[in-house]
Structure 1
Amino acid sequence: MASIDDFRIESHNLLMELDAATMRMMMLVSARCVSGPDWDAASKRQHDAYESWDKFINFPSGAMPSNAPFTN
Protein backbone atom coordinates (compact mmCIF):
# COMPACT_ATOMS: atom_id res chain seq x y z
CA MET A 1 0.00 0.00 0.00
CA ALA A 2 1.31 3.44 -0.85
CA SER A 3 1.95 5.76 2.06
CA ILE A 4 -0.49 8.37 3.28
CA ASP A 5 1.98 11.04 2.15
CA ASP A 6 1.86 9.66 -1.40
CA PHE A 7 -1.92 9.77 -1.23
CA ARG A 8 -1.95 13.34 0.05
CA ILE A 9 0.51 14.56 -2.60
CA GLU A 10 -1.38 12.98 -5.47
CA SER A 11 -4.71 14.10 -4.06
CA HIS A 12 -3.41 17.66 -3.81
CA ASN A 13 -2.09 17.61 -7.38
CA LEU A 14 -5.36 16.30 -8.79
CA LEU A 15 -7.43 18.80 -6.84
CA MET A 16 -5.20 21.67 -7.97
CA GLU A 17 -5.77 20.68 -11.61
CA LEU A 18 -9.52 20.32 -11.05
CA ASP A 19 -9.65 23.73 -9.39
CA ALA A 20 -7.62 25.35 -12.18
CA ALA A 21 -9.80 23.78 -14.86
CA THR A 22 -12.99 24.88 -13.12
CA MET A 23 -11.64 28.41 -12.65
CA ARG A 24 -10.84 28.59 -16.37
CA MET A 25 -14.42 27.67 -17.19
CA MET A 26 -15.78 30.27 -14.77
CA MET A 27 -13.54 32.92 -16.33
CA LEU A 28 -14.98 32.05 -19.72
CA VAL A 29 -18.51 32.31 -18.32
CA SER A 30 -17.68 35.75 -16.92
CA ALA A 31 -16.36 36.74 -20.35
CA ARG A 32 -19.59 35.45 -21.93
CA CYS A 33 -17.64 32.93 -23.95
CA VAL A 34 -19.59 29.71 -23.47
CA SER A 35 -19.21 28.26 -26.94
CA GLY A 36 -16.49 27.76 -29.49
CA PRO A 37 -13.03 26.22 -29.36
CA ASP A 38 -11.91 27.92 -26.13
CA TRP A 39 -15.02 26.69 -24.32
CA ASP A 40 -14.67 23.21 -25.77
CA ALA A 41 -11.05 22.99 -24.61
CA ALA A 42 -11.89 24.30 -21.14
CA SER A 43 -14.84 21.94 -20.84
CA LYS A 44 -12.72 18.95 -21.85
CA ARG A 45 -9.97 19.94 -19.41
CA GLN A 46 -12.48 20.23 -16.56
CA HIS A 47 -14.10 16.93 -17.49
CA ASP A 48 -10.75 15.15 -17.68
CA ALA A 49 -9.63 16.64 -14.36
CA TYR A 50 -12.83 15.48 -12.67
CA GLU A 51 -12.52 12.00 -14.19
CA SER A 52 -8.92 11.73 -12.93
CA TRP A 53 -9.95 12.82 -9.44
CA ASP A 54 -12.92 10.43 -9.39
CA LYS A 55 -10.79 7.52 -10.59
CA PHE A 56 -8.15 8.28 -7.97
CA ILE A 57 -10.46 8.74 -5.00
CA ASN A 58 -12.57 5.69 -5.83
CA PHE A 59 -9.63 3.33 -6.38
CA PRO A 60 -10.35 0.07 -4.53
CA SER A 61 -8.65 0.00 -1.14
CA GLY A 62 -5.66 -2.31 -1.06
CA ALA A 63 -5.72 -2.90 -4.82
CA MET A 64 -2.63 -0.82 -5.57
CA PRO A 65 0.76 -2.49 -5.06
CA SER A 66 3.08 -0.74 -2.61
CA ASN A 67 5.69 0.07 -5.27
CA ALA A 68 3.23 1.57 -7.78
CA PRO A 69 3.00 5.34 -7.98
CA PHE A 70 -0.43 6.94 -8.00
CA THR A 71 -1.43 7.70 -11.57
CA ASN A 72 -4.34 9.43 -13.19
Structure 2
Amino acid sequence: MSKTDDFRFHAQELIVDLDAATTEMMKLISAHQFSGPEWDRVTQWQHEAYERWMAYLNERTYPVPQ
Protein backbone atom coordinates (compact mmCIF):
# COMPACT_ATOMS: atom_id res chain seq x y z
CA MET A 1 0.00 0.00 0.00
CA SER A 2 1.23 3.49 -0.78
CA LYS A 3 1.38 6.25 1.80
CA THR A 4 -1.62 7.85 0.13
CA ASP A 5 -3.59 4.61 0.39
CA ASP A 6 -2.58 4.25 4.05
CA PHE A 7 -3.71 7.82 4.73
CA ARG A 8 -7.04 7.29 2.97
CA PHE A 9 -7.70 4.00 4.74
CA HIS A 10 -7.06 5.36 8.22
CA ALA A 11 -8.83 8.64 7.45
CA GLN A 12 -11.90 6.71 6.31
CA GLU A 13 -11.95 4.73 9.57
CA LEU A 14 -11.76 7.91 11.63
CA ILE A 15 -14.40 9.70 9.56
CA VAL A 16 -16.81 6.77 9.84
CA ASP A 17 -16.43 6.78 13.63
CA LEU A 18 -16.87 10.57 13.85
CA ASP A 19 -19.93 10.40 11.60
CA ALA A 20 -21.48 7.62 13.69
CA ALA A 21 -20.91 9.56 16.91
CA THR A 22 -22.34 12.75 15.41
CA THR A 23 -25.37 10.86 14.08
CA GLU A 24 -26.07 9.41 17.52
CA MET A 25 -25.78 12.87 19.03
CA MET A 26 -28.23 14.27 16.48
CA LYS A 27 -30.69 11.48 17.31
CA LEU A 28 -30.58 12.47 20.97
CA ILE A 29 -31.03 16.13 20.08
CA SER A 30 -34.04 15.27 17.92
CA ALA A 31 -35.51 13.39 20.88
CA HIS A 32 -34.83 16.43 23.17
CA GLN A 33 -32.58 14.24 25.34
CA PHE A 34 -29.85 16.63 26.48
CA SER A 35 -28.84 14.99 29.74
CA GLY A 36 -28.39 11.66 31.39
CA PRO A 37 -25.98 8.77 30.96
CA GLU A 38 -26.72 8.25 27.25
CA TRP A 39 -26.11 11.93 26.49
CA ASP A 40 -22.87 11.81 28.48
CA ARG A 41 -21.72 8.66 26.65
CA VAL A 42 -22.50 10.02 23.20
CA THR A 43 -21.03 13.48 23.76
CA GLN A 44 -17.84 11.89 25.09
CA TRP A 45 -17.70 9.55 22.07
CA GLN A 46 -18.25 12.43 19.65
CA HIS A 47 -15.63 14.58 21.38
CA GLU A 48 -13.03 11.78 21.37
CA ALA A 49 -13.76 10.88 17.74
CA TYR A 50 -13.27 14.53 16.76
CA GLU A 51 -10.02 14.73 18.74
CA ARG A 52 -8.70 11.55 17.07
CA TRP A 53 -9.56 12.97 13.63
CA MET A 54 -7.84 16.31 14.36
CA ALA A 55 -4.79 14.62 15.86
CA TYR A 56 -4.45 12.45 12.76
CA LEU A 57 -4.71 15.45 10.44
CA ASN A 58 -2.23 17.46 12.49
CA GLU A 59 0.36 14.68 12.63
CA ARG A 60 0.62 14.59 8.84
CA THR A 61 3.78 16.20 7.55
CA TYR A 62 3.74 17.94 4.24
CA PRO A 63 6.76 19.04 2.26
CA VAL A 64 7.54 22.73 2.50
CA PRO A 65 7.14 24.40 -0.91
CA GLN A 66 10.38 25.72 -2.31
* 1:37-52 paired onto structure 2 within 5 Å: 37-52=37-52
CA RMSD of aligned residues (A): 1.3
Following the alignment from structure 2 to structure 1, what is the Cα–Cα distance between the partners of residues 22 and 60?
26
Q: Structure 1 pair 37/20, CA: closer, same or farther in 2 (3 Å)?
A: same
| Match of residue 29 from structure 1 | 29
Aligned partner of residue 59 in structure 2, secondary structure: coil
Q: 1:3 is aligned with what amino acid?
A: K
Q: Deviations over 1:13-67 (max 9, x none)?
A: 00000000000000000111110100000000000000000000010417xxxxx
Q: TM-score, normalised by structure 2?
A: 0.87
| Match of residue 59 from structure 2 | 59
Task: Among all aligned residue pairs of Structure 1 and Structure 2, give the percentage whose two residues are the same amino acid.
Answer: 44
Following the alignment from structure 2 to structure 1, what is the Cα–Cα distance between the partners of residues 20 and 7?
20
Report how many residues are paired.
Answer: 61
Aligned partner of residue 53 in structure 1, secondary structure: helix
Answer 1 or 2: higher relative contact order, Cα 8 Å, separation at least 6. Answer: 1
